[in-house]
Structure 1
């Protein structure tokens, strides 16, 4: 019989074990969330033990999504850290780092999309509220970093980041062409099937930031 984890370090290790198991299962099929029983089995835990740490699969994947967003906001703040070069160079650094992040974690946008479709719809408000508050606070901090780096009016950095995110989500949804259609002889030549997301989002963001920062060097 599994004993309860009592120490804080042990509890955190157990939580991370559950999150790692959930992510591994999600990578097997990123179009749906695996059930709690399967996550528990993957983590080597009893289902009841898992419920000591998370109330539902929605809470598990919200925690995963929150961790991913933390990493992405770190990309933003690191990209706009004080460095040589004007606004255009700093924006280019951010875009390159952002594309690298997305290509290194191809599941991120799928998980984020499920966040809207499934997680927020099924998560109790008392659990959803802190996630939203934490996200909002992190966005404000990241926007302030962009403002300071590019000498922008207060709040402009948030606008740039939110619109970049919207552009990314929209292009990803278009480019998310099912593999079986890409392989189909009659459909593989469709213009959408030819899109390479990483290349396209890099170009689209570059064009957007150049237009949004007309005085960039």
Structure 2
């Protein structure tokens, strides 16, 4: 949360936010140190100097301690389509939002120089129960996009195809960013052509694959 936004909160709200952040950071550090499965909620509570009940009051489950701050990004595409301007297509809206995130080096698209987000990503990859949660949450985001498109077009089948294609393009771009950085490229190097790659990817979606991989 931005410092300006926090400054406008009352004392009680600021204390609640600080407690939630302390619990979250404590939990993630313990997970990274010992593994997700090896850490109990009671251990997190003790390290954060709160009760176990307080942990559950702020975070409904152990998995929420990892996903709560990042889960909203799984529905980014659905929000872009829902909030787009009149005359803007679904593809254009998702492309515009993604390019804005590339420009600002948003951690959710894998382009932030701070390695903390990538450490959390690796934690998720290394933990089966978290990978399952990530998959289900990603599917939920794609379904929200499909539902939005169905509401607008009345065609559930085509809406589902469009949502799946847009989600796949977006996910592939993010994974490419992570893959290149994991292979040793700097964030600046990856970001340098990220916008061009995104435009190419969404152009492929926009053109309906009609000229893709045409056999000669």
Q: How does the TM-score come out when normalised to structure 2?
A: 0.54
Q: Which runs of 4+ in 1 moved over 6 A?
A: 10-13
Alignment of 1:116-131 (within 5 A): 116-118=124-126, 120-121=127-128
Of 30, 34, 37, 1:35 maps to 30
Unpaired runs of 5+ in structure 2? 1-11, 34-45, 111-116, 211-216
Q: Does residue 1:139 correspond to 2:142, yes or no?
A: yes
Partner Cα distance (1:75, 1:115) in 2: 28
Of 50, 61, 74, 2:79 maps to 74
Q: Which residue matches 2:194? A: 198
The C-alpha deviation readout for 1:108-142, integer Å capped at 9, x for no partner, is: 24547336414x4355x9xx66x765653442121
CA, structure 1 residues 162+92, in 2 after alignment: closer, same or farther (shift >3 Å)?
closer
Q: CA RMSD in A?
A: 4.6
CA, structure 1 residues 137+59, in 2 after alignment: closer, same or farther (shift >3 Å)?
closer
Partner Cα distance (1:134, 1:163) in 2: 14
CA, structure 1 residues 78+50, in 2 after alignment: closer, same or farther (shift >3 Å)?
farther
How many residues get paired? 171
The C-alpha deviation readout for 1:34-77, integer Å capped at 9, x for no partner, is: 237x9xxxxxx962417422588753221112133345542342
Residue 87 of structure 2: SS of its match in structure 1? Answer: coil
CA, structure 1 residues 148+202, in 2 after alignment: closer, same or farther (shift >3 Å)?
farther
Q: Which residue matches 1:63? A: 68
- Measure how far apart 1:95 and its partner are: 0.3
Q: Which residue matches 1:96? A: 96
